[in-house]
Structure 1
């Protein structure tokens, strides 16, 4: 577990609030992605957001050179590989097994792996609420390969969250750590984007979707996530990010005119209660 400098005596909400704010931004990913041009592969859409957003994080962060010089390079490489792995595994998982199953498996994996030992009851309640929320409508299509890809995405998310939290806990600036990790992920993902095809980026819809994913759901969201990790352990942080599907569900109702069954609303309420409790010290 990372160690944290408590000399500044941060407020109890100093960590949870930025992480929950990041979840609000991540929750727009699915809605934004639905406006991508039809020829764009799902993995290419995710890769484009990471390539440009990760590069922006690296170029705008102060202290990245110091982090690259002094931090454990094996940890930085692990963070970059797993950050790239999340994007490249999650979007194909959604394409194969659907948003509901992929989201449930990917987002529930990290809290189960990291949070079940520290706060088991709240973690279990939050994961259950998330599952009921996204699967409450029934009719989910389970594709074995898609489930495996979602599991890889969830484990990847857990890994780079722990890496970032550990490096930040050692005293490295949060923005520099996030910039170094996601800058590396950008470099690793760029060849994949080229291989998948990037011609769709030249269309107005492609540019708009990529700009949103790069600026909002990658650049700004991960700045907030890194800030939250300064005062929140990786286990709690990954459980708090279960708020993301709740945001996505509400946007689906408001923007895409989707309908949520009663069971999903009940799951959202259970999830909200659990996340509220986790936000307390």
Structure 2
């Protein structure tokens, strides 16, 4: 029951992430990096205020190093991902960043926790990554840039590290507390970047509404659901389930923005959906292997 609940929470959270692109299409022209910093600030501060009012903001000093590490990982993800997309294009940047995150997560679980992901994780992750690759290609021209690839891999690693640390923290603290503190610190870390970008778009109605949506719903609430879902699944499983994001983004693009997907992209959607469905099914036997030294 806990596994099923966690899967649902993570998928719903990833679906909220998937609304980011559609929401930005209604906003004035703004830098993706600036938007990334603003959404962290809005999301983190909103949760922080709610927790402060409810007097649930309690953190032990022993956990501060882990919280700082998670904050650095999340702060690094934003500029790395958007810079990778600008450098090497949406298709390659998205596939490498989002597709590498589950792989890095599985490797980290293996190296740090000495846990081998179960067999269905390997199958579902392979199907999901292949589906994601076909989905975002959509007939666009492909250009490979080494710096962009490295940045995208850095983004994937950052998300995997954030998930692994958050998984550890939610064993001790409320997920609400972890998300609020981590995202507020991440926003503070990224705040110097805002001096280099034009933020006048926040003064426009469309810009403010989009910022509020991205911050409160697509970031604060989305990551809160994701953190709560980490209670019942492994970090590797959670990261693979987060591939619901590109699936949602593509379907919203078709239904709301009017985008047209190629046959290859629809095949990608089918593979991605199949992979996520396999991973969502409860295991008959929860097996965790370990490696001997």
TM-score by length of 1: 0.89
Could you tell me which residue of structure 2 aligns to residue 156 of structure 1? 158
Give the conservation status (yes or no) of the 8 Å contact 1:33–1:209.
yes
Could you tell me which residue of structure 2 aligns to residue 3 of structure 1? none
Deviation at residue 159 of structure 1 after TM alignment: 0.8
- RMSD between superposed Cα atoms in Å: 1.8
Structure 1 runs of 4+ aligned residues shifted over 6 Å read none
Could you tell me which residue of structure 1 aligns to residue 66 of structure 2? 75
Matches within 5 A, 1:120-131: 120-131=122-133
2:168 and 2:55 mapped to 1: Cα distance? 17
Could you tell me which residue of structure 1 aligns to residue 92 of structure 2? 101
Could you tell me which residue of structure 2 aligns to residue 44 of structure 1? 34
Deviation at residue 72 of structure 1 after TM alignment: 2.1
CA gap 1:166/1:250 in 2 versus in 1, 3 angstroms: same
Give the conservation status (yes or no) of the 8 Å contact 1:136–1:263.
yes
Could you tell me which residue of structure 2 aligns to residue 35 of structure 1? 26
Could you tell me which residue of structure 2 aligns to residue 66 of structure 1? 58
Give the conservation status (yes or no) of the 8 Å contact 2:74–2:158.
yes
Whether 2:135 is the aligned partner of 1:144: answer no
1:75 and 1:202 mapped to 2: Cα distance? 36
1:136 and 1:115 mapped to 2: Cα distance? 28
Deviation at residue 48 of structure 1 after TM alignment: 1.1
Deviation at residue 191 of structure 1 after TM alignment: 2.2
1:213 and 1:90 mapped to 2: Cα distance? 16
Give the conservation status (yes or no) of the 8 Å contact 1:18–1:225.
yes
Deviation at residue 166 of structure 1 after TM alignment: 0.9
Q: Structure 1 stretches of 5 or more lacking a match? A: 1-9
Give the conservation status (yes or no) of the 8 Å contact 2:92–2:143.
yes
- Secondary structure at the residue paired with 1:13? helix
Deviations 1:153-211 (A, max 9, x none): 11111111111111112x21111111121121122122222333322211223212211
Give the conservation status (yes or no) of the 8 Å contact 2:77–2:158.
yes
Give the conservation status (yes or no) of the 8 Å contact 1:158–1:238.
yes
Deviation at residue 147 of structure 1 after TM alignment: 2.4
Could you tell me which residue of structure 2 aligns to residue 257 of structure 1? 258
Give the conservation status (yes or no) of the 8 Å contact 2:44–2:184.
yes
CA gap 1:279/1:174 in 2 versus in 1, 3 angstroms: same
Whether 2:47 is the aligned partner of 1:57: answer yes
